[in-house]
Structure 1
Amino acid sequence: MGPTRDGGAPVATAAPPRAPIAPRTSGAPPVSVEPRRPVHPVPYGELVPVTVHFDDLDALGMLHNARYPLLVERAWTAYWHDRGYGFDGDWAAAGDMCNVIKEVQVSYERPLTRPGHYAAHLWIERLGRTGLTYGFRLCSADGTETYARGHRVLVRVDPQALRPTPWSDRARTTAAELLRPQEAAEADAA
């Protein structure tokens, strides 16, 4: 508020104009939303970078339990998008992206207590005619520490009938690249 009127009531005044934001001139790199590639490869599947923000933490300072599957979902979306699959609002044209989740299972291994850069280790455990089972770990950016692991079962559906329908050959080929080898499955079970 600015100066007063005769009766002492304040009179609103306009805020001074803000100076335009100057372009960055420091030596720091610009902020980027480009995906970061993990430094360390994994023996099967793929590590996809994810970011945990401060507001993802709960009142105890741990990643909220509902955020684990959300981060994994975003990693899967990025993985498929990078390979030319996407959804633009038209279910009839969505093809293999027209799928529904039948089951999600998450096992929380240890608390994740800091915002920062992490990874989702993604693989496919089973690829069927109309369904598939994704395996995942939410882990450190280099894949060495596991915070949670689980799986998600998807079913490809026809957009009009909402009934199971087969995956396309293209999707099957793309998915086959992430199939976990039997030896890895046996080692993980031990």
Structure 2
Amino acid sequence: MTAEAPPAPALSYGRLIPVTVHFDDLDALGLLHNARYPLLVERAWTELWQDRGVRFEGDWAAAGDACNAVRELRIGYEAPVTRPGTYAVHLWLDRLGTTGLTYGFRFCSADGAVTYARGSRVLVRLDAGTLRPAPWSEAFRAAARELLRPAG
């Protein structure tokens, strides 16, 4: 007889995206290397948007809302990840502007119960021709609103 895993805590906002930490993501001390956290968050963010039809397929002019750049990244490390396996990234939006957005994230256990790192990242939507800020499409904005963290 096997014991059932406890239920995952319910998320009141955002999405929990599974990610995998591999053995070669660990540093010489056996800890998840600090540079891997943003990489794993980026992979989770990319997966979330690809599932909603926003993707880059090699052509910036056709990329639409996927043509964006990072303006700022902040991350704080709370507890070490000491072994390979399945974890998760909790993603949400803190702000959705005309040409930019700020999303928050937590690198956490697969069930979302334990937080290892948290942070935020500011993205700016770009016009592919000029590389100047451009407005998000209405389709993107509608999908993004579902990720907004409630005020308070």
The C-alpha deviation readout for 1:74-100, integer Å capped at 9, x for no partner, is 000000011111111000000000000
- Deviates further, 159-168 or 39-48: 39-48
Q: Is the 8 A contact 1:41 1:47 kept in 2?
A: no
> 2:135 maps to which residue?
166
> 1: CA distance between counterparts of 2:102 and 2:51?
20
Paired residues of 2:9 and 2:113 also in contact (CA < 8 A): no
Aligned pair partner of 1:148 in 85, 105, 117: 117
- Which stretches of structure 1, 4 residues or longer, exceed 6 Å deviation after superposition? none
Q: Deviations over 1:123-172 (max 9, x none)?
A: 00000000000100000001000000000000001011000000000000
Query: What residue in structure 2 maps to residue 65 of structure 1?
Result: 34
Shift of 1:40: 4.4
CA contact (8 A) 2:8 2:112 kept: no
**TM-score for both structures, normalised by structure 2:** 0.94
Matched residue SS, 2:124? strand
Q: Which has the higher contact order (CA 8 A, sep 6+)?
A: 2
Pairs aligned (count): 146
RMSD of Structure 2 on Structure 1 (CA): 1.1
User: What residue is the counterpart of 2:97 in the other structure?
Assistant: 128
* Alignment-derived partner of residue 104 in structure 1: 73
Do the aligned residues in 1 keep the contact of 2:8 with 2:113 (CA within 8 Å)? no
Structure 1 contact 109–146 (Cα < 8 Å) conserved: yes
Could you say which residue in structure 1 is the equivalent of 2:57? 88
Q: Provide the residue aligned with 1:20 in structure 2.
A: none
% of aligned pairs identical?
Answer: 68
Residue pairs, 1:40-59, within 5 angstroms: 40-59=9-28
SS of the residue corresponding to residue 112 of structure 2 reads: coil
Q: Larger % of strand: which?
A: 2
SS where residue 170 of structure 1 aligns?
A: helix
CA distance in 2, matches of 1:175, 1:102: 18
Q: Which amino acid aligns with 2:96?
A: L
Letter in 2 for 1:52: V
TM-score (norm 1): 0.75
Q: Distance in 1 between matches of 2:9 and 2:23?
A: 25
